[in-house]
Amino acid sequence: MPSCLALLVPSALLASPQQPPHRVPGPVQELKSPDNGERISVSVVDQAVALEVFNELAAQADIPYPAPDGSYARAHKMVRILDDRNICAAKAWIVGSLYVDSTRFGEMGFAYHVAPLIWVKAGKAVLLEVLDPSLFDKPVPYETWKAKLLAKPKATLKEAFFTARFVYVPEERATTGDDYAEESLRDMNQTNRTLSRQLFMFDRLKRMKKEENP
């Protein structure tokens, strides 16, 4: 599966037939996890590309963004789509008592939440931004994303950390690997399908009740 290239690799090397297949081209920058010191290579893109891939992710009909749970399966699907776009993402995790308000479900609480993140060039600066269509309508700085999940007074933060994109659930954070586990991919597909069906049934029942009680 894709692995990241070093920052500013000459284009001639990118085209070399000796390169392993499916390498991720383009510049990357190291990301250090704040709690465990893990160092992760993450793609650097400009703002236009970041918005373009965000919109592409948001338009995926098979990713159940409105679901009140399942961020781990959504994030896993998203980073694989980013792989296909030659963008090497990491994952941002927040663990604790987290809350957000939803027009569909009201207040929702989570034990943890996860989403992809990349480096985004903004002028001369390079910012760490999260791609999370379940909470925002565009890429947002990591601290903005984190603050939204902790905005309510009753919210508490247990830990926040980054992992490589291959990590599926928080319990796997200490594992090392350079590929997606087949078991995780199967669970990702099943979880996203199940949540999509649940959302469909929720909306259908809601419409039926509205029709019965106009």
pLDDT band at 209 (very low <50, low <70, confident <90, very high): low
Q: Is the pLDDT of residue 22 over 50?
A: no
Domains of the chain, residue spans:
11-212
The predicted pLDDT at position 214 comes to: 65
d(CA 55, CA 65): 13
**Quick one: the chain helix, strand, coil %, rounded to 5?**
35, 30, 35
Q: Is the pLDDT of residue 51 over 90?
A: yes
Helices (H), the chain: 11-14, 47-58, 71-84, 142-149, 182-212
The predicted pLDDT at position 24 comes to: 56
User: What pTM was estimated for this model as a whole?
Assistant: 0.83
Which CATH architecture group holds 11-212?
Answer: Roll (3.10)
